[in-house]
A and B are shown apart, each in its own frame.
Chain A
């Protein structure tokens, strides 16, 4: 009886979680440098490694673009990424996961492909990895959105 109730409860809770869209985006009222710091701190707090911060903004303003603050942040957990690309070599094209962070006036935007969309590329027993990444990304983005 208890198991049945617990199972049912889990189902209800799971279904009440907002399901993923293809992209996860958020807007932070922090300016770019502060948002970048909050972002990196939260990534580490969630147990992920920052593998690279790539500048995409070199020469953007010279080309008439509206911002010169644009970075792509690569992140991940070594053992999980090694496990995934060994078992599913084609996933290497999307690894490690990354997120864009760029300034928009006095605010900062964060965008990433929803890790959940890659779950279709793996066996059922491994889908949970991407669902957890999705949950963590949402949590990290929430940290940046809610930061003062």
Chain B
């Protein structure tokens, strides 16, 4: 009996010890503060540079930038990103992680974070529109879409100065308060082409009109919906696999693309000669198109050269290729839209010709 009691107590003790250990681990995980510098390195430095000196993205450590934007602007920018301008939305980061990144950015300044009130500036949108066309559009674009370069493409020259941001971008408008925009207009951004409006002869009323005009961009629908696009273009072929491959070669040549190689899908995955013969990949390229695509965004190279896969599956021959329209969404780069639309037409045309 005594032994039985001892066993019970022993088991209970073990359970309690294990529970305590688990709780300790749980607390350490839950309470550990996120590493802002580490998060910046993995999430941001690719575009903004290791020290915030910029590159693809805004030079975050520039004193005239970091000292003139509040924490809230940085937090919202991380959350919303800049739809269509490379900067993604980091919606999956926890609040603590976003805050840790912001505090890391703040460490590049010895000044406390600036704060603005959230009240709307009341200006005249019509007057603001005219002023914008006269004074701002040259850099920010007539619709506030921003200059070509920063945040738009990975391929711009690194020796260029910062390019004017897109003021009509929904991510910017959701992040910046009127007061912040007004402050930027009043003081400019030293170290960038953005001049102080005061030095250009504008009155405070003029500046209010400009702020109201920039805010009016908010009412324009700019986000495109590409969710309905399927990731893969698939067509059934009435021909045998070999016939379909031959048809494809001809269709590729007819569209002025160069056939790079034809190989089994499993080439490199299994021993040569033992590949599945019912899965064939055709790689092809139009070099002018390739250069244009890479100049817009060199990251698209991961989907180049173009390729179509022909498979025989359950007695049915099919042609499959990625849907280029998905790429704009993937790369968050509106400038790719036209190229992707064009490529979608080329792929569809080639596949249709091959199964005609």
Contact = CB atoms under 8 A, between A and B. Distances in A.
B301 A70 contact: yes
A100 interface: yes
A84 B13 CA distance: 47
B97 A18 contact: yes
Nearest to B260: A54
Interface in A37-89: 49-52, 54, 56, 59-60, 63, 65-66, 70, 72, 74, 76, 78, 81-82, 85, 89
Nearest to A28: B46
B269 A1 contact: no
A81 B269 contact: yes
B350 to A, nearest CB: 14
A32 B283 CA distance: 25
Contacts, number: 141
Nearest to A112: B302
Interface string A3-38: 001101100110010111111011101000000000
Interface residues of A, number: 59
Nearest to A26: B46
26 contacts: A1-B19, A2-B15, A2-B18, A12-B29, A16-B29, A18-B42, A23-B330, A49-B268, A49-B269, A52-B268, A63-B291, A66-B155, A66-B157, A72-B304, A78-B269, A82-B269, A85-B279, A92-B309, A92-B311, A96-B268, A104-B154, A105-B158, A112-B302, A113-B302, A142-B42, A145-B41
Interface of A: 1-2, 5-6, 8-9, 12-13, 16, 18-23, 25-27, 29, 49-52, 54, 56, 59-60, 63, 65-66, 70, 72, 74, 76, 78, 81-82, 85, 89-90, 92-96, 98-100, 102, 104-105, 109, 111-113, 117, 121, 142, 145
